[in-house]
Structure 1
Amino acid sequence: MPFSHLPPLLAEALSARGYSAPTPVQAAVLENDADGRDLIVSAQTGSGKTVAFGLAMAPQLLEESGALPFIREPLALVIAPTRELALQVSRELIWLYGKAGARIATCVGGMDASKERRSLSQGAHVVVGTPGRLRDHLERGALDLSQLRVAVLDEADEMLDMGFREDLEEILDATPEGRRTLLFSATMPKPIVALAKRYQKDALRISTVGEDRGHGDIAYQAVTVAPADIENAVVNLLRFHEAESAMLFCATRDNVRRLHASLIERGFAAVALSGEHSQSERNHAMQALRDRRARVCVATDVAARGIDLPTLSLVIHVELPRDAETLQHRSGRTGRAGKKGTAVLLVPYQRRKRVDMMLRGAKIAAEWIQPPTPEDIRRNDRTRLLEALLEPAEYDDEDREVAQKLLAERSPEDIAAALVRAHRARMPAPEELADQQVGGDQERQKEHRQGFEDTVWFRMDIGRRHNADPRWLLPLLCRRGHITRNEIGAIRIAPNETAFEIPRAAARRFAEAVKRTAGGDPDGEGAIQIEAMNGTPRDAAKQNRREGPPPARHKAKPAYKAKPHRPR
């Protein structure tokens, strides 16, 4: 469906921006059923919802001539959860309604409030702002909503999560009863339902989640990794992709701080966004990303709301999202406007089933892969370097003069090698991961290693049914037993238990450390029982066969039922 039926001035603006046809959410709000009605809209990030509500409120703003009337009080109000999102909405509405002569005022925290009040006093057709700043202007008498025709709540669920319920209610209570209310919310929790029931009448429900672009512009990958290696996996993924801009999502501000510091220490140009950063710090971080001084942004979900980076092509879920909707919202930061993007989930081994269920529920086909190895990264580096050096370029006389001096002193091969070395020196070194250092169970059983001629076998009460895997069992044993990886021999995983060998010289020390580290919470590492075996796993199996199963009426119940283990 083309935009031909829209007012000419809006159609021209859309054409100038390269729009040829509406996205599903834009088409839905322009249907005859939606004309003039209150709307509850669910649409994923990057679906064009800002333009959608900009088009939806056109009948309430434009006169028959297609221009906006002269008026001092605002006709439309858009409320957004964060400063970045509000500024983004303002930019979109400015080009959309620019030809119609719209005056748009933006009221957000961190800006000069006196300038905002002057802008409001001079008259504005549309006011865009954050709840706190809008409420402040309203209480001071600078914002008059008596003539308002349409109110838009963008990302309403996020605003309620951030504690803006009272602000929203005070603002909406100050608007005329006959106004039109457009509520955009990715989810519909009970508070959103209550808000819609109170401030909307006969609202039309529209949902376009999963339509059109769906996940077509985003390639989803899931990387299984030992919990202790998550940070190293992040480093290798950043180095493997070398994305123009990348966003890393963490669950808490403390984890954002730690990961950001670690990346800076390794040489990455990174910035951080979380609740502990001031508005000035957020502004500097965003500017660094836009002018390419920084290429990596580490952020929490809330802090990343409203961020729109055209160059963002990689999203890494360093900590797993709480649900499928959060996964889609985070990942939607990339793959916009027809560009391709990659979203990578770092999945601790023991949480793979949960992630599988989440992906199936969201109808996302993710590719399960191993983390990039240092050799994978070096191979990509070679390819990228050759492409960069072989690109057509213009050289001035000074460049050629320096080149001639170099050729007089060194051979072309030496100069090229020095160029390659200088290129590599600027890039952070890749990391070796645990599952790249140590192979699987069978591999460790077959290799002959010096010092394992005389060993003691131990058992632990978790097995395949508890998602046991050598790649996270090894770090666990090192922590519990105060030993190194090199002091752990073969690992044999059975359905309900795992057997492993320790050199006899270290067995006593290991057993004492295991006793000291026992205990803790029911799901923690200390709850896993570890004890020495009498002989080898084969001896234990023979003993069990000789004794046979106990009579059914005296069937023994296990003294401890192991729970799925969650390594730290």
Structure 2
Amino acid sequence: MSTFAEFGLGQDVIQAVSEMGFEEATPIQAKAIPVALEGKDMIGQAQTGTGKTAAFGIPLINKISASEDRIVALVMAPTRELAIQVAEEIEKLGRFKGLRSLAIYGGQDISRQIRSLRRKPQIIIGTPGRLLDHINRKTIRLDDVRTVVLDEADEMLDMGFMDDIQSILKLVPEERQTLLFSATMPSNIQKLAQQFLRNPEHISVIPKQVSAPLIQQFYVEVQERMKFDGLCRLLDMEPPELAIVFGRTKRRVAELSEALSKRGYAADGLHGDLSQNQRDTVMRKFRDGSIDVLVATDVAARGLDVSGVTHVINFDLPQDPESYVHRIGRTGRAGKEGTSWTFVTPREMDHLHLIEKVTRHRIAKKPLPTLSEAMEGKQKLVAERILETVKAGDEDVNPYKWVAVQLLEQYDSVQLLSAAMKLLMGDKKDVDVALTPEDPIRGKKRKFEGGRGGYGAAGGNRRYGQGGPGRGYGGGQGRGGYGSGGQRSKPYGGGGNRSQREDGGSYDRGSRGGRSDRRDDSRPQKSHSEDYVNI
């Protein structure tokens, strides 16, 4: 492995690299930095999480003078999260040179960005859409740009930024250095490179086994309706330090994060409908451990770099092998081990085999965790926390000792400890959850029916009380539970278009309500699904 001192970098850059904790260059850095320092155009192909930002950031910082009072370098990134993270790393790399950099992205007040541009940053890091907005407003001029970096280029093109990128690159002087980084090299990337790069040197650091060897990969074959219970059992059986749960759509992520919170998990969601302040708040809570489960769409798979992620769970199977690799790459980083779990419905098995073929890695099958395994995992975690507190000799426990002594005089010690563990485990609320059915592989619209609400208060042997309705969409309430009395009368909710009279009420086929486990519990479960779901 190469050391950074071997690259002939300036002392201020080496000092910054050292303070960031970098000792040896990663393979992509070892190959890319010398080429970039020579001023050549380059195509760098490597997985996410291999140190690509430093691979272009270090030579970029090294050749820019602090006396520059104009924009001389432009970095384009696909998402706000990645633009912010690249800007943070470049700021760290340039701290001892006194360079000024600025992140430009949508979702932030543009007038605030305009004020920051008056500081005359030398480096701009931005998303294509917001960059083009500033260019059209003439608040950013690219006449003096000498280096352009396209980070995660394949992702930018997948998100529909091809026209924006072409428009921006046409405004940059032809006498420039262009560095393109991408995890994959589809035909549109090759076309872009042919159009804007001059005799680029191609550097590839793709391992024979695409999936990271430090990540244990498992899949669970499960019916759609059992996914959420399976997720809860998994989180209980293997309590993560930090976990990212991937859902396919923004709506799915919103539903799933809300459902986990109702069950008592410290979870929050990250998706495109959140404002920038909301996104920043969620990421801050995840980084500082206020939440330990982040539910996210694939937008977060690229560019989201949080250390200490122990588990990645694919609640929905990704639609392509590349997305699978990017998702699980959020764990098993910096030499640490990680675990990935993927939920697969029976009709998705062929798609799973395609992922195995492309990644050249066999994913081990595991059974759905049982309730007893989930309970055992929670108990083990609580016992470990108790022992850690005892071993630490924490003085904060002293005020509780006199109470403990009194309780031990009256009750059995085993019974007391068991009760304390039960309280510490914070048993999850028994909340029924109905998530929106999705049909991602076939890409069709699918209709689904409403269902029964919860059972009502018991009226005697085999008699059921009034049930709550399942919440319907498209005009009315879903069907309620069994009626009161000795016979199974069926009251129905307020009508919709397809109403039918029965027992004095009309009903509409709304979305499915959850069925209570207790027959004296009339809590229905609201569903967030609609008559038709666009996949």
Q: How would you bin the TM-score normalised by the shorter chain?
A: 0.7 to 0.9
The match for 1:110 is 107
Query: Among 8, 27, 52, which residue is 1:49 paired with?
Result: 52
* 1:40 equivalenced with 2:43 (yes/no): yes
Moved more, 45-54 or 305-314: 305-314
Query: Among 170, 183, 208, which residue is 2:180 paired with?
Result: 183
SS of alignment partner, residue 346 of structure 1: strand
The match for 1:239 is 236
**Offset, 1:101:** 1.9
The match for 1:3 is 4
The match for 2:456 is none
* 1:130 equivalenced with 2:127 (yes/no): yes
Q: What residue identity is the alignment partner of 1:262?
A: A
**Offset, 1:111:** 2.4
The match for 1:418 is 419
Query: Normalized per residue, which structure has more helix?
Result: 1
Unaligned runs of 5+ in 1: 62-67, 432-478, 483-567
Alpha carbons 2:75, 2:149 under 8 Å: kept: yes
SS of alignment partner, residue 360 of structure 1: helix
* 1:71 equivalenced with 2:107 (yes/no): no
Q: Please give the per-residue CA displacement for 1:269-315, whole angstroms capped at 9, x wherever unaligned.
A: 22122233332332232222223232222222124432222232111
Distance in 2 (CA, whole Å) between partners of 1:35 and 1:356 is 43
Alpha carbons 1:152, 1:182 under 8 Å: kept: yes
SS of alignment partner, residue 124 of structure 2: strand
SS of alignment partner, residue 302 of structure 1: helix
Alpha carbons 1:260, 1:270 under 8 Å: kept: yes
Q: Please give the per-residue CA displacement for 1:419-475, whole angstroms capped at 9, x wherever unaligned.
A: 1110233446799xxxxxxxxxxxxxxxxxxxxxxxxxxxxxxxxxxxxxxxxxxxx
- 1:428-507 superposed matches below 5 A: none
Q: What residue identity is the alignment partner of 1:13?
A: A
Alpha carbons 1:149, 1:180 under 8 Å: kept: yes
* 1:206 equivalenced with 2:203 (yes/no): yes
Cα distance change, pair 421–354 in 1 and its aligned pair in 2 (3 A): same
The match for 2:303 is 306
Q: What residue identity is the alignment partner of 1:340?
A: E
* 1:371 equivalenced with 2:374 (yes/no): no
**Offset, 1:210:** 2.4
- 1:136-535 superposed matches below 5 A: 136-210=133-207, 215-391=212-388, 392-393=391-392, 394-396=394-396, 397-407=398-408, 409-427=410-428
Alpha carbons 1:269, 1:294 under 8 Å: kept: yes
SS of alignment partner, residue 6 of structure 2: coil
**Offset, 1:349:** 2.7
Query: Among 25, 31, 37, which residue is 1:22 paired with?
Result: 25
Distance in 2 (CA, whole Å) between partners of 1:351 and 1:375 is 28
- TM-score normalised per structure 2: 0.74
Unaligned runs of 5+ in 2: 433-448, 453-534
Q: What residue identity is the alignment partner of 2:148?
A: A
**Offset, 1:43:** 1.3
Alpha carbons 1:3, 1:22 under 8 Å: kept: yes
- Taking only the aligned residue pairs, the percentage that are identical comes to 36
Distance in 2 (CA, whole Å) between partners of 1:102 and 1:136 is 24
**Offset, 1:33:** 8.9
SS of alignment partner, residue 138 of structure 2: coil
Alpha carbons 2:143, 2:173 under 8 Å: kept: yes
SS of alignment partner, residue 84 of structure 1: helix
Q: What residue identity is the alignment partner of 1:47?
A: T
Cα distance change, pair 54–325 in 1 and its aligned pair in 2 (3 A): same
Task: Kindly report structure 1 stretches of 4+ aligned residues shifted beyond 6 Å.
Answer: none
Alpha carbons 2:61, 2:90 under 8 Å: kept: no
Alpha carbons 1:268, 1:428 under 8 Å: kept: no
Distance in 2 (CA, whole Å) between partners of 1:272 and 1:380 is 25
The match for 1:12 is 15
Alpha carbons 1:45, 1:332 under 8 Å: kept: yes
Alpha carbons 1:29, 1:35 under 8 Å: kept: no
- State which structure, 1 or 2, has the greater radius of gyration over its C-alpha atoms: 1
Q: What residue identity is the alignment partner of 1:315?
A: V
**Offset, 1:151:** 0.7
Alpha carbons 1:34, 1:204 under 8 Å: kept: no
SS of alignment partner, residue 299 of structure 2: coil
Q: Please give the per-residue CA displacement for 1:181-226, whole angstroms capped at 9, x wherever unaligned.
A: 1111222233322221221111122221227995122111122223
The match for 2:436 is none
**Offset, 1:386:** 2.0
Alpha carbons 2:214, 2:335 under 8 Å: kept: yes
Alpha carbons 1:377, 1:430 under 8 Å: kept: no
Alpha carbons 1:42, 1:206 under 8 Å: kept: yes
Distance in 1 (CA, whole Å) between partners of 2:301 and 2:354 is 25
- 1:89-100 superposed matches below 5 A: 89-100=86-97
Distance in 1 (CA, whole Å) between partners of 2:356 and 2:37 is 32
Alpha carbons 1:239, 1:430 under 8 Å: kept: no
Alpha carbons 2:245, 2:293 under 8 Å: kept: yes
**Offset, 1:378:** 2.1
SS of alignment partner, residue 168 of structure 2: helix
**Offset, 1:69:** 3.4
Distance in 2 (CA, whole Å) between partners of 1:355 and 1:430 is 31
Alpha carbons 1:275, 1:303 under 8 Å: kept: no
Alpha carbon RMSD of aligned pairs, Å? 2.6
Distance in 2 (CA, whole Å) between partners of 1:275 and 1:110 is 10
**Offset, 1:409:** 4.8
Alpha carbons 1:75, 1:149 under 8 Å: kept: yes
SS of alignment partner, residue 30 of structure 1: helix
